[in-house]
Amino acid sequence: MNYFVTGTDTDVGKTFVSNLLIRGLRAAGLDTVGMKPICCGGREDAELLHAACDFSIPLNDVNPIWLRTPAAPYTACVIENRLIDLDAIRETFARVRREHRSLIIEGAGGWLVPITREFFVSDLAAEMKLPIVVVANNKLGAINHTLLTVRDIQARGLNCAGVILNNVEPDSDIATTTNRSVLETLLEVPILFEVQRNQSELRMGVA
C-alpha cells in the first residue's frame, strides 16, 4: 500500500497520521517505510517517520532535503539563498520505492505550499503518482478547507483515496461533532478514519 499524505493546512497532524499508517501496515506484515522529502525548521517529523519504520532506511532517505528555516520551502530557500534539489528527491523516491513494496510519503504543509516559484507540493504528489490521503484538523473551518483540497486534487485528475479527520484539540464543539457527517454528504471520496491526536488507535470509518 502506497500513499501520499497531504494536509488541508500545516500542523493538522500529517506526521501523526503517517506514523499511524506506517506502524499499522508494518504490524500487518508489510515492509512499509516513510518519507518526508522536505523538512523545514526542525527535523523531528522525519525522525518520527524514521523510528516508525524501525530505522530500516537511512534518515537521509526518509528526508533528503532539510531546510533549517521554519517556513514554506520556497520561503526557506529564499532566506537561506539555496535551491531545492528536486532531482535528489526524485532519485531517492525511485530507489526507496524499488526496494520497498509499501511507502507512505508525507508532504510539506498543505496541498498548495510552494516548493519553488513554479513547483508546488501538489506537483510533487502528481509526479509520484500515489493515491492521495488528505488529513484535516477537525475544527471550525474544516469543511471549507477539506472541500477546497479534495476538489483541487480531483480537478488535477489525481486519485484522492479519502480523508482522515484528526481531532487535534481534546475539546469538542458543534463543528467537531458535525463535520464528519456533513463531509460524508458533500464529498465524493470517503472519510477513511477519524483519529484522536496522541492516541494510538484508529476509530474505523468506511475504509
Which cell goes with 136? 484535516
What gap in Å lies between CA 53 and CA 37, rounded to an integer? 15
What gap in Å lies between CA 185 and CA 178, rounded to an integer? 11
- Cα 176 from chain centroid? 21
Q: Is 36 a catalytic residue?
A: yes
Q: Say which of 14, 36, 129, 139 is annotated catalytic.
A: 36
**Given the DSSP bridges, would you call strands 191-196 and 203-204 parallel, antiparallel or unpaired?**
antiparallel
Angle between the N-to-C axes of helices 121-128 and 86-99, in degrees from 0 to 180, rounded to the nearest 10: 40
Residues identified as active-site: 36
